Amino acid sequence: MKDFATRKPKKRNLAKKKSAFRSTRQTSNIISKNSIFILLVISSCLVITSFFFFKTDVASTNPEDVFNNVTIDFPSSLLEDSVLIESNDDGELSCEYFVQIGAYGNKKYALEAEKMLMGEIQNISIDIVYSTQLPGKPLNSVISGPYENRSAANNAREKITKNGFDPRLRTLCKQT
């Protein structure tokens, strides 16, 4: 059997170390000097023609003084902190105030919210409402009330907030 391996010792030049990422080709300019010269000539021609074509004058861009004169005329009754409200004397409004504790897609979460607040808040009810953003999707709205006035509704809202909910005040007004 013949041995094909070369038995001659290789000469290693330890003094000359080459970088691992160095290419064997000489580095040449990617863009030639003629191309760079042509690009400079074209750009200078464009700058010169833009000065003539657009008639650019740097001195004419100085800011001018602007004087604003604004006059506001309003009724003298507004100076006295009185507000004029147009009213219709057709009837009187009677309002009921509610506190919406939350609206849940799953009824068990609505029942859980009702159970958490049952000791502190009276008149809690769960109503089925439909979402305006997703029509056809029923939501279980947990509502407390009605309350006689806004102050009583705000007091109930504070109690509900202390229990970790984010309630909303709802008002239902009817003309009598």
Report pLDDT digits (tens) over 158-169.
Answer: 989 988 888 988
pLDDT at residue 145 greater than cutoff 70: yes
The number of distinct structural domains making up the chain is 1
pLDDT of residue 51: 78
pLDDT at residue 97 greater than cutoff 80: yes
Domain containing 109 — which CATH number?
A: 3.30.70.1070
Asked if residue 114 is part of any domain, the answer here is: yes
Asked if residue 125 is part of any domain, the answer here is: yes
Give the mean pLDDT of 108-113.
91
Asked if residue 161 is part of any domain, the answer here is: yes
Please give the mean pLDDT across all residues of the chain: 77
The most confident of 42-46, 80-84, 128-132, by mean pLDDT:
42-46
SS3 of the chain: the string is: CCCCCCCCCCCCCCCCCCCCCCCCCCCCCCCCHHHHHHHHHHHHHHHHHHHHHHCCCHHHHCCCCCCCCCCCCCCHHHHHCCCCCCCCCCCCEEEEEEEEEEEECCHHHHHHHHHHHCCCCCCEEEEEEECCCCCCCEEEEEEEEEECCHHHHHHHHHHHHHCCCCCEEEEEEEEC
pLDDT of residue 12: 59
Structure pTM?
0.46
Asked if residue 111 is part of any domain, the answer here is: yes
Range of the domain at 161: 93-175
pLDDT at residue 13 greater than cutoff 60: no
Give the mean pLDDT of 29-57.
84
Asked if residue 121 is part of any domain, the answer here is: yes
pLDDT at residue 3 greater than cutoff 60: yes
pLDDT of residue 134: 78
pLDDT at residue 84 greater than cutoff 50: no
pLDDT at residue 148 greater than cutoff 90: no
- Greater confidence (13 vs 4) lies with 4
pLDDT of residue 10: 59
